Structure 1
């Protein structure tokens, strides 16, 4: 077994990063340091934590250009978009810092003569964060910042595809003067990752990844009686009502489907369009998608980069080919995107019609630059199809009638419901999913609840 990880860049297939895997002794030393540091960190005032964390965010943002370039090469995000993740990191981190004082405030109870009573929110201890490659900074900071602000220590294990992301976050915290051991990272094998979850000193696991990965987490911590936040897969739908602004709906849903080459757990993967506007929507969507430029991620003119690896592209091609064999219509000619080539991670975008739920492309997570568009006859048919999924992360409705849109949203099985937008995380709102999209919550004030435990104080006057 290799004792190192190699990051193969999807840009050109070169080895971009190589790092040694942590040894058993270094893993245990990291855990011991986290436990020791937490005893002091939990006693600091929230405003003191906030001051250090704000400095860390500023130090991170100051490296924006370097981080964008590394992100481009590690996972293939076009360089014209890569710096946007730094801005998103700043927005989410600062939002969680600003709401910490209120979110962590003791819960006061009604007056009761002769007694003082309150509920304090206390940190859990050490939080183990396992982050993915597709939005490597955004997914990580969702858990890291509130965990640290709540008085926990954090150990981060990042994807082998994006190891520099862990190092950049550590660099920012170190520059800000965060006490040693409060934030640490480890480059780990899958086996070591599971073993660390089973370590008695790990008090919570925050995992973002596949459904299979979520199952692994649950098995690893079984019997330990600790919590886990699981943000897993998605097959997120959008519904275009007959009264929608079609130009706006096309622009937003196509961006939601193809940004980051479709590699987003909350990206739009299936669209249902009312029959009255179906042809118009499809025509405009196809016209827009044909304007994408598939190219190397380091080319400033590229708007659609490669997917993360050749095997992922092959999975997507097979899903599309199978749908076409079942009767789906492909609207994009791969020959119009010269870099598209079997055996490479470069993959032309695809818009499919004449699709239905007998096809994997409408039910199984694609995680690539493909979207299926299905005609529906009514709101009720759209609701039934949107709910016909093992996933439930986000769902979107495009309509000019907000009241009707909200009524539809009430019937949808989803963690986040949008009207006239999609594929966005507002840090003031809880980020959560239902069904196989996972469990738990990050962001918003509610995101602090899973990273603390209630401790009740009941004092009788003497």
Structure 2
């Protein structure tokens, strides 16, 4: 079986390599997780919460090492590398705080004749297939509620961030979570699909491409295994006439360019009211030109390489096609000398764009954003909904009711007003259309990793 090589986008070297597990070893790992689950679920909830929080604390204590490893593995500038831990802790704390109330039985009747109630029961073994772009945050979304609710976890991390899975296992095991309760594994695609098809898991959570989600669904067909799928996105921003212009530019451009545009809920297209369009574009160009593209290990770098050369090619191709169709690029690549035809890619703003161009309709997942002028809310709504995806939408206005009214008409999972590229652990992280199905975080995140169980007890 061929080794999996992690190629660093920083310099093209082999950063780390690992041997995938054989089919027999993979089946044995899943079997150990299943055997360990009843005893883990039998532990008091407070004990499970304490162990999970201790594991996250161990992970947080490694944040300097994690930042360096992320720079090497997927190219995130080291100056931003520790930021992920803030979100990891916030989400862990919130899910821990609501666990007892959310998982408690809901009493319907408790009388001399009947006791009727609804309980939540752990699903069993959860298989988490985590992505590379936010390798800790995205994994934690399912790992934390899954463990707290009494499930065991089998984690398969993306080949671009192999060390992230190992660090998570190291931290949780050091905190006292048994090795069979939380396992980090290295599977190839064929083994992954074979175990899903064999019903080795009771829930599969996948974050990644639409094609990857389709492969998971095909593997699970006929097994009735529940799936959580967070797939592609093409998240829009809409700047109304009453928007705070400077705040909109700062947040939307950061949402488009942070992490080299490789964010699940990054801003990929912006629609601006005609009264603000020229000023928005001018200020956005200045904002993007202030970035520094460079080696992610350099503390002054604000824009690192894309995680892989092939990802950068997708973005280059989309930009080239759009320009050939009449789009106008506003950022001179000469301002970003690291644009080497490889993983280092200059950011780009495109105007004179429309929805006949792939850059406005297909996921880019890179440092490019198209900006279109609109005359009113109706035109903005039509364009925002003209998408195969639906994860988040960012509306810029000074009025709550206006944002809510527009948001009610947008086909998406989350509506944000005057912010973008953000997850609130109290709100469900979910999407629609080709973005996938299911949800994590909030109290609904616990519902994803448990099943309802009804008790109808009668005295005679």
From 441, 444, 447, give the equivalent of 1:443.
Answer: 441
Structure 1: how far apart are the matches of 2:178 and 2:64? 27
Alpha-carbon distance in 2 for matches of 1:148, 1:271: 39
- 1:159-178 pair list within 5 angstroms: 159-178=158-177
Distance 2:423 2:150 in 1: 24
Q: Which runs of 4+ in 1 moved over 4 A?
A: 110-113
- Contact kept, 8 Å, 1:11 with 1:76, in 2: the verdict is yes
Unaligned 5+ runs, structure 2: none
User: In the alignment, which residue of structure 1 is the partner of 2:91?
Assistant: 92
Matched, 1:200 2:208: no
Equivalent of 1:434, from 412, 428, 432?
432
Q: Is the 8 A contact 1:150 1:452 kept in 2?
A: yes
CA deviation after TM superposition for structure 1 residue 180, in Å = 3.0
**SS state of the match for residue 117, structure 1?**
strand
- After the TM superposition, which of the residue ranges 108-117 and 24-33 deviates more from structure 2? 108-117
Matched residues in 1 for 2:432 and 2:458: separation? 43
Is 2:286 aligned against 1:287?
A: yes
Match of 2:369 in 1: 371
Q: Is the 8 A contact 1:68 1:86 kept in 2?
A: no
**Partner residue in 2 for 1:245:** 244
CA distance in 1, matches of 2:36, 2:162: 24
Contact 2:260 2:367 survives alignment (8 Å): yes
2: CA distance, partners of 1:196 / 1:84: 34
Q: Which residue of the partner structure matches residue 81 of structure 2?
A: 82
Q: Deviation per CA, 1:239-280: give whole Å up to 9, x if none.
A: 000110000000000000000000112100000000001001
Take 1:41 and 1:314, find their aligned partners in 2: how far apart are those partners? 45
Task: Tell me if 1:144 matches 2:143.
Answer: yes
Name the residue aligned to 2:411.
413
**Residue 36 of structure 2 aligns to a residue in which SS?**
helix
| Structure 2 residue 269 is the aligned partner of structure 1 residue 274 | no
Other-structure match for 1:223: 222
Q: Which residue matches 1:353?
A: 351
Contact 1:37 1:180 in 2 (8 A): no
- CA distance in 1 between counterparts of 2:451 and 2:162 reads 31
216-225 or 305-314, larger mean C-alpha shift: 305-314
Q: Does 2:451 match 1:453?
A: yes
Check if 1:394 corresponds to 2:376: no
Structure 1 counterpart of 2:129: 130
Distance 1:116 1:179 in 2: 36
Which whole-Å CA distance do the structure 1 matches of 2:221 and 2:112 have between them? 44
Structure 1 SS opposite 2:429: coil
Residue of 377, 380, 391 corresponding to 2:378? 380
> Offset at 1:179?
2.2
Residue aligned with 1:109, SS: strand
- Report the Cα offset of residue 94 of structure 1: 2.0
Q: 2:287 aligns to what SS in structure 1? A: helix
CA separation in 1, counterparts of 2:398 and 2:118? 44
Q: Encode CA deviations 1:152-177: one digit per residue, 9 max, x unaligned.
A: 00100000110111110101111111
Residue 34 of structure 1 is matched in structure 2 by 33
Q: 1:269 aligns to what SS in structure 2?
A: strand
Q: Residue 233 of structure 2 aligns with which residue?
A: 234
What is the match of residue 57 of structure 1? 56
1:237, 1:270 within 8 Å by CA — same for their partners in 2? yes
CA contact 2:153–2:182 (8 Å) conserved in 1 = yes
- d(CA) in 2 for partners of 1:150, 1:118: 18
Farther off after superposition, 187-196 or 108-117: 108-117
Structure 2 contact 103–120 (Cα < 8 Å) conserved: yes
2:427 corresponds to 1:422: no
Deviations 1:34-82 (A, max 9, x none): 0111010111111010111111111111111011111111000000001
Whether 1:212 aligns to 2:199 is no
Compute the displacement of 1:112 (Å).
6.3
Does the Cα contact within 8 Å between 2:413 and 2:430 map onto a contact in 1? Answer: yes
- Tell me the CA shift for residue 24 of structure 1: 2.1
Q: How many corresponding residue pairs?
A: 460
Summarize deviations over 1:374-414 as a string: whole Å, max 9, x none: 00000111011001100000001001122111110111111
The corresponding residue for 2:189 is 190
Give SS of 1:195's match. helix
Return the offset for 1:341: 1.7
Partner of 1:47: 46
Secondary structure in 2 aligned to 1:411? coil
Q: State how far apart, in whole Å, the 2-side matches of 1:334 and 1:64 are.
A: 33
Are 2:27 and 2:200, in contact at CA under 8 Å, matched by a contact in 1? no
